[in-house]
A and B are shown apart, each in its own frame.
Chain A
């Protein structure tokens, strides 16, 4: 029926992500002085997430909707893999671009499987291929195909619907995805989970994604690059999350990013990325003289008792070092312990929530790797970030 149905079987050979370029893209509505989107120029490399963020009325959704011609450009151009979006008919173009919106817009009268199959059916895939693809996608978004495929949207929870919405947008393996506040209607706890899941998913599928949000924290967490838009559809800054936090371009971005932008950098870093303090780790029965030597060599004035496997047991009281050998007299337990892979913000939060000034840091096997303190974090925040990473690289591995 058409040329799109030809390649690959059940989506086993993924299509390459596309590059996207806004070239002075402009949208003006008749009778309005300000443009909705004013000469927006930016490039999104293939496989990266570009977040459009800004206050309401800044034109971020309009900019996104111009890509699949839900809104037509007044001026300028948008290029998908170097080809102007105006060259294909809107329907053809849209079938090549994944589309997920905040209200999800699942079809209430279609089963989950039929919802996901919407675009493959439009493209004329055969039913066997569609069915295999549906199961594959359901697994990709962590849903059980057998339990889910024949249900109707009204039988699903909000989080499940959101996952189906993403699966549906991915169905025909589009080289580009447009996502308009996809997690906006989800409660904070599930939103966090879905964001993490989404970033993990993106590591697998490596799509080019345009992601619209009004939430700067979400932008920082999700984006490889962030485009901050201000009223009148003007691009205020286009930068990586770390650049945006360190060097906001002007008052508008500075205000929008928030007074706590220094703290937000903590969300971009893991514990292993900063210089930890050295701890004096001792075992029960060790000669006190040895323990004291270690203490002198460490960065803090406390000894950390560990078990035979180098796992932290607790902070020793002074009385523990009074005799010949180290005794098990604890000042406090080793809580909170922090993992090297923890995000710095979470580690700081653990530290603040406990009575302890210090947090024992352990590696993947649970061995003590150092000590984290408020001072260590404070030092980090005063440094210039050289190797700040994007949020996508910070998602914890499911393993």
Chain B
């Protein structure tokens, strides 16, 4: 049902501004409703791949932290996935997964892996050696060391990776229209010569990216209070 929206071109009767593909505040005001569903699709297209991608790359990074030799191969594979042009990725997947969300999710998830994996790895690698030594020397098990010391201290780096991955995904999700998954990209594609349409659809994508970024930043500040503590 949602997918049908993208097939309709914007309704462009009446005013001259609209006829001239201009930027028409009154048209935007009257037609804002049509962007609501694509906007929420875009949110889904962003959050689902980021969450799945985070789960996968976080797990891989923790694994590679224990078995260092895995870092190279994992970086290689995720790096290769990252270099595949997104349009090609969508079209390659379509014979297997068809048109729609599944195809978009798979491709968009793959693009988050490299960024998050590298940031989690860097974060874990940056934990001070002496803190780890003290932790082991006091009798923390490897698991306690990971959850109580290493991951909390890696948190700034991990969340920085999450921010980059999220912002990137908002942008890439605009291409999910080519996988038949809708989103704001579908609106853009429907009438890319009409300035009003481009400004609203594009603007909403930018707003979404900014809003998600601010949310993650707020989470980061909330979970890393020690980072703001400075000598008085």
User: Which A residues touch B152, using CB under 8 A?
Assistant: 109
User: Which A residues touch B149, using CB under 8 A?
Assistant: 107, 109
Least CB separation from A118: chain B residue: B138
Of residues 49 through 108 on chain A, the ones whose CB sits less than 8 Å from some CB of chain B are: 68, 70, 90-95, 99, 101, 103-108
Task: Specify which of B130, B136, B140, B229 is in contact with A104 (CB 8 Å cutoff).
Answer: B130
User: Which B residues touch A156, using CB under 8 A?
Assistant: 231
Interface residue B134 (Cβ < 8 Å from any Cβ of A): yes
Asked whether A94 and B136 contact (CB < 8 A) given A104-B130, A154-B230, the answer is: yes
Task: Specify which of A70, A92, A155 is in contact with B137 (CB 8 Å cutoff).
Answer: A70
B138 in contact with A106 (CB, 8 Å)? no
Interface residue B224 (Cβ < 8 Å from any Cβ of A): yes
Q: Which secondary structure dominates chain B's binding surface?
A: helix
Number of interface residues of B (CB under 8 A): 24
B151 CB to closest chain A CB (Å) equals 10
Interface residue A277 (Cβ < 8 Å from any Cβ of B): no
User: Which B residues touch A109, using CB under 8 A?
Assistant: 149, 152-153, 224, 226
Interface residue A122 (Cβ < 8 Å from any Cβ of B): yes
User: Which A residues touch B83, using CB under 8 A?
Assistant: none
- Could you give, for residues 111-143 of chain B, a 1 whenever the CB lies within 8 Å of some chain A CB and a 0 otherwise? 000000000000000001111111111111100
Asked whether A154 and B140 contact (CB < 8 A) given A101-B133, A108-B131, A108-B153, the answer is: no
Interface residue A119 (Cβ < 8 Å from any Cβ of B): yes
Interface residue B97 (Cβ < 8 Å from any Cβ of A): no
B144 in contact with A122 (CB, 8 Å)? yes
A152 in contact with B226 (CB, 8 Å)? yes
Number of interface residues of A (CB under 8 A): 30
User: Which A residues touch B135, using CB under 8 A?
Assistant: 105, 107, 118
Of residues 55 through 94 on chain B, the ones whose CB sits less than 8 Å from some CB of chain A are: none
Least CB separation from B153: chain A residue: A109
Of residues 91 through 148 on chain A, the ones whose CB sits less than 8 Å from some CB of chain B are: 91-95, 99, 101, 103-110, 118-119, 122
User: Which A residues touch B130, using CB under 8 A?
Assistant: 101, 103-105
Interface residue A292 (Cβ < 8 Å from any Cβ of B): no
Interface residue A151 (Cβ < 8 Å from any Cβ of B): yes
B139 in contact with A122 (CB, 8 Å)? yes
A148 CB to closest chain B CB (Å) equals 12
B138 in contact with A94 (CB, 8 Å)? yes
Of residues 151 through 191 on chain B, the ones whose CB sits less than 8 Å from some CB of chain A are: 152-153
C-alpha gap A105/B140 in the complex (Å) = 14
Task: Specify which of A90, A99, A155 is in contact with B134 (CB 8 Å cutoff).
Answer: A99
A151 in contact with B138 (CB, 8 Å)? no
B138 in contact with A122 (CB, 8 Å)? yes
Least CB separation from B155: chain A residue: A109
B224 in contact with A119 (CB, 8 Å)? no
Asked whether A101 and B137 contact (CB < 8 A) given A109-B153, A154-B230, the answer is: yes
B134 in contact with A101 (CB, 8 Å)? yes
User: Which A residues touch B144, using CB under 8 A?
Assistant: 122
Interface residue B232 (Cβ < 8 Å from any Cβ of A): yes
B70 CB to closest chain A CB (Å) equals 24
C-alpha gap A104/B136 in the complex (Å) = 13
C-alpha gap A260/B152 in the complex (Å) = 50
User: Which A residues touch B141, using CB under 8 A?
Assistant: 91
User: Which B residues touch A155, using CB under 8 A?
Assistant: 229-232
A95 CB to closest chain B CB (Å) equals 4
User: Which B residues touch A90, using CB under 8 A?
Assistant: 139
C-alpha gap A55/B149 in the complex (Å) = 33
User: Which B residues touch A93, using CB under 8 A?
Assistant: 139
C-alpha gap A156/B139 in the complex (Å) = 25
User: Which A residues touch B131, using CB under 8 A?
Assistant: 105-108
User: Which A residues touch B134, using CB under 8 A?
Assistant: 99, 101, 104-107, 165
Of residues 213 through 232 on chain B, the ones whose CB sits less than 8 Å from some CB of chain A are: 224, 226, 229-232
Asked whether A94 and B226 contact (CB < 8 A) given A104-B134, A108-B128, A122-B144, the answer is: no
Task: Specify which of B133, B139, B224, B229 is in contact with A92 (CB 8 Å cutoff).
Answer: B139
B231 in contact with A154 (CB, 8 Å)? yes
- The interface centre, meaning the residue of A70, A99, A103, A105 with most chain B CB atoms within 10 A of its CB, is A105
B207 CB to closest chain A CB (Å) equals 33
C-alpha gap A156/B231 in the complex (Å) = 7
C-alpha gap A122/B135 in the complex (Å) = 11
Listed by A's residue number, 21 A-B pairs whose Cβ atoms lie within 8 Å are A70-B133, A70-B137, A91-B139, A94-B137, A94-B139, A99-B137, A103-B130, A104-B134, A105-B133, A105-B135, A107-B131, A107-B134, A107-B153, A108-B128, A109-B149, A118-B138, A152-B229, A154-B226, A154-B230, A169-B138, A178-B137
* Residues of chain B whose beta carbon lies under 8 Å from any beta carbon of chain A: 128-141, 144, 149, 152-153, 224, 226, 229-232
A-B pairs, 6 with minimum CB distance? A105-B134, A103-B130, A94-B139, A99-B137, A95-B139, A105-B130
Besides A104-B134, A119-B139, 15 more A-B contacts (Cβ < 8 Å) are A68-B137, A90-B139, A94-B137, A94-B138, A94-B139, A95-B139, A101-B133, A105-B132, A107-B134, A108-B128, A122-B139, A154-B226, A154-B231, A155-B232, A165-B134
